[in-house]
Structure 1
Amino acid sequence: MDLARRLFLSQGAKMTVGAAFVPLASVAQAGINDQPPRRGGDPARRYAMLIDLRRCIGCQACTVACHIENQTPLGKFRTIVSQTEVQSLETAEPAQFMLPRLCNHCDNPPCVPVCPVQATWQREDGIVVVDSDRCVGCAYCVQACPYDARFINDRTQTADKCTFCAHRLEAGLLPACVESCVGGARIIGDLNDPESQIARMVEQYRDELMVLQPDKNTRPHVFYLGMDARFVTRPAAEPSLWTVRNGEGEELGYEYAEH
């Protein structure tokens, strides 16, 4: 029996981690949303990312590497590491919490069915992509994403987002953010390959993994290990001293779109 079927629902925030491993075909047949048929990519694969927060030091190397690799406009990012200050549950003292954020490449992506021209779709390997030649820049998908993972590219005037660096994966390379992570906190791979590092880690830590905003039922495929449960939804936290800023100089702290 494959990994997707062996992982089952647990409780709380972990429930969506289990639900995320429903096979792609089952999701499509269930008619969960009206997204167009999946196309492109290897149907034998299901890419996902596991972020080990125990190893993340908030250095922003992933943010910089992604920015350089994908040539996003100044102040626009496909991935960032939000750094916030919270009260330690153990000591009640101020504590820093780092949360890498990117597109979650959901199995039930709310960004896909809202596109009026089907410019965004999900590949058969699970990666959600955007056709910039087809996109009209209406930003419906930007508003639909509950993870604030999309933006309108100032240069192209089309939707932009993380693609797991699909062009690098297809060349046998790691995504820029994974390759540059000095702590080895980001692990990407094929969940359908039981010998892959991510499949082994999901099996080992499945009772500890969490996803963001599990109540949205998006079936995200970015999993967090070592997550402070307060950060599954919007926490009571303050941006830290060192934060990422957009082109207008505004801090990009821990914020999710309200949907």
Structure 2
Amino acid sequence: MAMRLGYVIDKKSCIGCHACAVACKVENNLPDGVWWNRILTEGGENRDTPKGTYPNLSMGNIAVSCQHCDNPACVKVCPVGATYKDEATGAVRQDYDKCIGCRMCMAACPYTGVRSFNWEEPVYAIGQDMGDVSVAKHQKHTVEKCTMCWHRLAQGLQPACIEVCPARVRYFGDFDDPDSEVSKLIREREYMQLLPDSGTSPSVYYLV
């Protein structure tokens, strides 16, 4: 049975610890300089700084990664089918072996910075692979992004970012199942989405 897997993130309760970003990097053996999941600060000009003047300060956090859109702009422009939507899960995936490095998907995606491009052979900080052995090998001249930890889904597990969140603000499930936790959350709580007018119908919802 087809699903529409996606995320709900409680933006109001996120503590900005970056545990999800680090877990993603390690689990997926990401090369130096590559982050598929980033925690951005809604505040001052620099990360983890508030806006305003003391004592009237405010700061928030927002986790940004591939939005795994239901109507992905990236899939429509890929000339070789390297960027594609998995019909069984709704996840937007990358096939590194097919990718020709044209970066059309990066240009079409309205969510700046959720993809990266390997200009050279990937380099790693500790000189050896980390994470799950099932992770696809990173390649030169290919586009990369969040995979929903596809290798973990195949084992019946949740994405690494979900399991490590100490504040338990990240949720993952099937939006096509009305009884799933994620479906209940967006029915019961006020939420926002990134660039809702882009027509991409993202599968990431932020509780506010």
TM range (shorter): 0.7 to 0.9
Residue in structure 1 matched with residue 169 of structure 2 by the alignment: 185
Residue in structure 1 matched with residue 131 of structure 2 by the alignment: none
Matched, 1:67 2:51: no
SS in 2 for 1:82: strand
Structure 2 letter corresponding to 1:219? S
Structure 1 letter corresponding to 2:174? D
How many residues are aligned here? 181
Q: Identify the match of residue 99 of structure 1 among 39, 49, 62.
A: 62
Q: Deviations over 1:149-176 (max 9, x none)?
A: 1111342121100111122122111101
Structure 1 letter corresponding to 2:21? T
SS in 1 for 2:61: strand
Residue in structure 2 matched with residue 118 of structure 1 by the alignment: 81
Note the residue ranges of structure 1 that are not aligned, 5 or more in a row: 1-41, 227-259
Q: Identify the match of residue 38 of structure 2 among 58, 63, 80.
A: 80
**Structure number with higher strand proportion:** 2
Distance 1:99 1:109 in 2: 21
Tell me: CA distance 1:109–1:92, structure 2 relative to 1, closer, same or farther (3 Å).
Answer: farther
Residue 192 of structure 1, CA deviation: 2.1
SS in 2 for 1:113: helix
Note the residue ranges of structure 2 that are not aligned, 5 or more in a row: 45-49, 123-138
Residue in structure 1 matched with residue 97 of structure 2 by the alignment: 133
Q: Deviations over 1:95-148 (max 9, x none)?
A: 111010011111111111111111111011210001100001111111211112
Identity of aligned residues (%): 42
The 4+ residue runs of structure 1 with deviation greater than 4 A are 86-89
Residue in structure 2 matched with residue 176 of structure 1 by the alignment: 160
Residue 88 of structure 1, CA deviation: 7.2
Output the TM-score relative to the length of structure 2.
0.81
Residue in structure 2 matched with residue 213 of structure 1 by the alignment: 195
Residue in structure 2 matched with residue 147 of structure 1 by the alignment: 111
- What is the root-mean-square deviation in Å for CA atoms of aligned residues? 1.9
Residue in structure 2 matched with residue 201 of structure 1 by the alignment: 185
Output the TM-score relative to the length of structure 1.
0.66
